[in-house]
A and B are shown apart, each in its own frame.
Chain A
Amino acid sequence: MYHYDKKGPKRGVALYSYSAEFGLTKTLEDCFEDIHDMGAHGIEILANTHIENYPYPTDEWVEKWFRLCDKYEIEPVEYGNWIDSHVLAYRDLTTEEAVEMLTRDIRLAARLGFSCMRTKMPVINEALEPVLNWREIIKGALPVAEKFGIKMLPEIHTPTNLKSEMVKAFVDFIKETGTRNFGLNIDFSVFRTRFSEGEWVDPAFKANDPEDLIPLLPYIHCCHAKFINMSDDFEETTIPYPQIIKVLQDNGWNGYLLSEYEGADKYDDGYEVTQMLRKQHIMMKRLLGD
């Protein structure tokens, strides 16, 4: 399996970015080739989207997956999964059923060569707080995650703050259990400082300073390199990328920055997300010096 050895922050792409094009104008291989064009070496997939016959892919498909990774020099980095415990209309899944769903994903992530999972928690309110039994669900899956060397990472995304109770609860859980198989994925939306005129901003949102990352770095195993607006001279105009990258580099952080474009305009007719991704990768290449 292809492995990229560089230390420090590395470039990758989250296939979520291609949501509006995947299956219509782009195949899985097109996405791999696009990432290869950018000279990026990491990939995040969404299990429920990009794996044919999910959750039970054939051995042939798994072989094809590794062929694509080798051909385009791409390392499987993060496997996007969901703990869909609200999947039934009339009741929540029991902890045991949720653990079964989660461990099925852990095994599949490992089979495809991933080391991290972006584990999306089911929520109970508008503050996006996770279900009350999230600790039991994660604990139930930890032995399998340990066996397969997988880290489960909830994504910390706007409007959540890095200094919030939610993040503290995740960190406390890691400290209490001593686990190395649970951590964080930080989405750079938490650092956003500029908004367009008239744009709705969640009143609960308060931008984090890039320095706020420092105490969390031991628990961060992947980041979502969120971007909103790339200027034609290859700068992100709403998120302080130079400062974020500097904090990561100065503190010896090692891992992937996975580009994730979330703008709704990607669903517009004729929109091609690669234009934005390529601009962002020019910026990141310059900042990372690669």
Chain B
Amino acid sequence: MEKQVIQSVGFRNIVENGEVTGFQFKVRLPYYRGVFLSQLRTGTVTIDGEQITKEHVIWNINGQDFTAEEMKDDFKTHWSVLTPAVIKVKKPGGLAQGYHDLSYGFCFTSSYMPPIMQNEEALNPDTESMIFMPEFGHHVNSRRMIIV
């Protein structure tokens, strides 16, 4: 597993029934413990400046697909710090060969943190929190990636 949150391994177009329907990449959890899916706050994928909102993004945890709506209620499925999640993004035609600038925002709640650090403003996946704490990682991670 790479130290960066967005992994270079796992970045490719998604082909379904012979058709390119989107692309996928992997993220690791930049926290010291795993989380249940309902703890996640997922945000926007930005690919080469184009924004793709969370309704068009699927999280795949241990081989199982989850929509943002499904994750909201799921406090039984656990995402481990050792297993990157696969993020599947709908984009007919996928991405062209070559470089792409990718950004993705997500963060997560913690029951032991004071409520003031847990509200919607503090845990906005698309903006950084007021104070950066390394053990919670950045909300938005960016990386220049290559599609072959």
Q: Please, how many angstroms separate the alpha-carbon atoms of A28 and B21 in the complex?
A: 39
A74-105 contacts to B, CB under 8 A, are: 82-90, 93
Residues on B with C-beta less than 8 A from A24 are 1, 3
B residues engaging A (CB < 8 A)?
1, 3, 28, 32-36, 38-39, 41, 72-73, 75, 78, 80-82, 109, 111-116, 118, 133-135
B63 smallest CB distance to A (angstroms):
12
Chain B residues, CB < 8 A from A164: none
- The CA of A241 and the CA of B112, in the complex, are separated in Å by 28
Cβ of A209 within 8 Å of any chain B Cβ, yes or no, is: no
In the bound complex, residues from chain B placing their C-beta under 8 Å from that of A55 are: 78
B111 touches A48 (CB 8 A): no
6 A-B interface contacts by CB (under 8 A): A16-B32, A23-B28, A87-B38, A87-B75, A93-B75, A123-B113
CA distance A126 to B113 in the complex (A): 8
Query: Does A169 count as interface, using CB distance less than 8 angstroms?
Result: no
Assembly CA distance A88 to B71 (angstroms)? 10
**Contact yes or no, A88 B38, CB < 8 A:** yes
Contact at A49–B32, with CB atoms within 8 Å? Answer: yes
Chain A contact residue count (CB 8 A cutoff): 33
| A124 contacts chain B at the CB level, 8 A cutoff | yes
* Known pairs A20-B134, A22-B81, A55-B78; A89 contacts B114 (CB<8 A): no
B41 → chain A closest CB, angstroms? 8
